[in-house]
Structure 1
Amino acid sequence: MKITIKDIAKQIGVSHSTVSKALNDSPLVKPETKDRIIKLARELGYEPNYAAQRLASKQSNVIGLIWPTLERVAPSILVTKINEEVSKHNYKMILSIDSIEESIEMYKRFQVDGVIVFNKDNIGMPNSSPLPIVSYGVSENKSIPVIDVNYREAMHAAVEYLYHLGHENIAFVGDFSFNDERQVEKCYGFQQAMEKFGLKIGNHNLINTRGLDWYDGYMSTIQLLKSSFKPTAIIGSSYDISAGIIRALRQADYIIPKDMSVISYDNIPQLESLEIPLTSVGVPVEEIAKHMVKTLLDYIKNPNSVPLSQTLSPKISERTSCALARTIKS
């Protein structure tokens, strides 16, 4: 037999509306009464009728998140932070790793209130949707609201940071095979910053990993160390690639940062836990999650209140992987 609010109200001796308010954590119910109601609801195995709640409020208090791949560390952490932020607003989140089109169709059936959508390469995002949608990455030429994390500015900040430590021979290790506009933006940002500070740039210090996995960074760094170019500092374009860079340097008996300074894109706390705690650059992951969730919830309430583009500012998180430039290891 399904337990209802009426059953709880009858046993406690209060009104239906009091039980409803208590179960929704309303401050209008006395704490002792609320505790009794919640305790009895748990003992009786009460389960809310979400369908009825949706009909009454015209909202599900559920959002969907579409992310085609969770193989890399930083995206997985961002999903976790988004879920934490969603919970703070008394919403629930459903995650889909199907295609954007399939996921949106599913979310329509589930009657979610809105969707946070990611694409593996940030290309081919939907031009319109029956549901409120927010994304992140590169905002240029997008017709849905995008939280722009300013990849070019992040790379500029990384180069400037190393330049002021005296580094001139700086290598950039990342995937810039033009399949992913996020990675391309990082590459362009690196080149522009090097030119601004009058530093040499060319094929010798643009190291294309042709992939975003740990092994791609590892193998590319091995090849870099075998080349005639001897950098004093390396910028890795992601957490995973930078983990590979660190492993290759340690394997070659480089002491970080004595023999080589390393800075990584992806401003996530996990960079503290690598073999060498890495200095990093980027918009802090908590800040990205906060802005994405707030923007979507604002968009759900009033689509006209949300701009198509919001640009966040990258920050440097200093750890122990960078030092003043010195004589390079032979």
Structure 2
Amino acid sequence: MTGKIDKEPVTIQTIAKIANVSHTTVSRALNDSKLVKPETKRKIDRIAREMGYVPNYNARRLVTHRSNIIGIFFTNLEAGTSSSFLTEVVEEAQKRLPRNYSLSINSINIAENDPRISIQNFDGVIILSQSESDDPFIRSVIKRQIPAVILNRDVKSKHLNNFAVNDYLGSKVATEYAIRMGHRHFALIEGVDAFTSTHQRTAGFLSALKDAGIPKDDVIVKKGDYKPRSGNSAMRQILSSRHMPTCVITENDDMAVGAISACDEMGYRVPDDISIIGFDDMNYSKYLTPSLTTIRKPTTQIVQDGVDCLVKIIEDDGNTVMQKIYDPEMIVRSSVKQIRTPRNE
């Protein structure tokens, strides 16, 4: 005679009863929510494994009306968004999000009027904004009541969740450092003209020069696009100028890479012949030859705080607006030489 054992399915309510917590806490813990204490999360995970709990994501989506998809929107994936910045943002967002969420990477310039940008298709969106031209897209997302956080650009609104760095301060601090090192002859390689970060970093650079009594008309300014090739091209033009600067400020690290490469190709040594400063402190910057003096933009912290804010809005239907503008940090390495200031200056 064979026996038949009827085994009741393990549910969130079953786990909640054994763990002596609410079913909401169990749901959050199994979704790796930051709102659940680590020790509680470990306890619930252990009970779920021991009981053989298997989540039914399709059923959960039907009940919760959620897609479990978070959209990441960059101003423009084809122009101005460096591959290193994109990679760092996506990696940090993926690590920080609860494990039941998936990421969808998009470009604002092709998505602004896309009917698929809806609360049915995205539980929330992370907008990596670079330009005021993104504002219509941001307004469209808010109008559709999609939970959103805006990262990277200070949008100057009291009603939006916003996390960004003080680009103006960062550039000013970098230039002031170079001036303290004795430099008074500068070149600047700018980023994308349409990007707010470019204007802020240029303004910070010029402010430091003004404070030091250095005429801006004496500065060589070249346009770049935040990518290495443009840094290389701009640096070649600078090195071919009649009046060579002693220090070149690049408005991001990717252009600094191209600038250092151009120096090597044209027989100039960094920093012996010319100094270079970057901006961002990308992961590779300390491994360059020479290691790059730069401004540390706290991208990791910005993304982490933005993701935590977005998850809280989605899971708690939170209405509190969260905003923070981060001060950058000067990272001194080997690409800037200390020089003596001539007596007649």
Which TM-score band (shorter chain)?
0.7 to 0.9
**1:123 counterpart (106, 122, 133):** 133
Q: Give, in whole Å, the separation in 1 of the partners of 2:246 and 2:58.
A: 61
Distance 1:306 1:90, change over 3 A: farther
Q: Give, in whole Å, the separation in 2 of the partners of 1:91 and 1:188.
A: 43
Q: Give, in whole Å, the separation in 1 of the partners of 2:6 and 2:293.
A: 57
3-state SS, counterpart of residue 203 of structure 2: helix
**2:120 counterpart (87, 109, 125):** 109
Query: Does structure 2 conserve the Cα–Cα contact (< 8 Å) formed by 1:154 and 1:281?
Result: yes
Instruction: Confirm whether residue 175 of structure 1 aligns to residue 191 of structure 2.
Output: yes
Kindly report which structure 2 residues correspond to 1:23-102, keeping only aligned pairs within 5 A, or say none. 24=30, 27-28=42-43, 31=46, 34-38=48-52, 48-56=55-63, 61-67=68-74, 68-69=76-77, 71-86=82-97, 89-98=98-107, 99-101=110-112
The Cα of 1:119 is off from its aligned counterpart by 4.4
Distance 1:123 1:167, change over 3 A: same
Q: Residue in 2 aligned with 1:272?
A: 286
Question: 4+ residue runs of structure 1 moved beyond 3 angstroms?
Answer: 13-23, 25-31, 33-38, 54-62, 119-122, 140-144, 298-304
Instruction: Confirm whether residue 157 of structure 1 aligns to residue 166 of structure 2.
Output: no
State the superposition RMSD in angstroms: 3.2
TM-score (norm: length of structure 1):
0.79
Q: Give, in whole Å, the separation in 1 of the partners of 2:149 and 2:111.
A: 13
The Cα of 1:322 is off from its aligned counterpart by 1.8
Q: Give, in whole Å, the separation in 1 of the partners of 2:279 and 2:6.
A: 55
Q: Give, in whole Å, the separation in 1 of the partners of 2:184 and 2:94.
A: 41
Output one character per residue of 1:157-201: Cα deviation in whole Å (capped at 9) or x when no partner.
Answer: 101111221222222111363x22221221111111211222231
Q: Residue in 1 aligned with 2:321?
A: 306
Q: Give, in whole Å, the separation in 1 of the partners of 2:277 and 2:151.
A: 23
Query: Does structure 1 conserve the Cα–Cα contact (< 8 Å) formed by 2:281 and 2:295?
Result: yes
Paired residue total = 305
**1:144 counterpart (132, 137, 160):** 160
Query: Does structure 2 conserve the Cα–Cα contact (< 8 Å) formed by 1:279 and 1:319?
Result: yes
The Cα of 1:18 is off from its aligned counterpart by 4.0
Q: Give, in whole Å, the separation in 2 of the partners of 1:102 and 1:96.
A: 16
Q: Residue in 1 aligned with 2:215?
A: 200
Query: Does structure 2 conserve the Cα–Cα contact (< 8 Å) formed by 1:134 and 1:145?
Result: yes
3-state SS, counterpart of residue 256 of structure 2: helix
Uncovered stretches (5+) of structure 2, i.e. residues with no partner:
17-25, 33-40
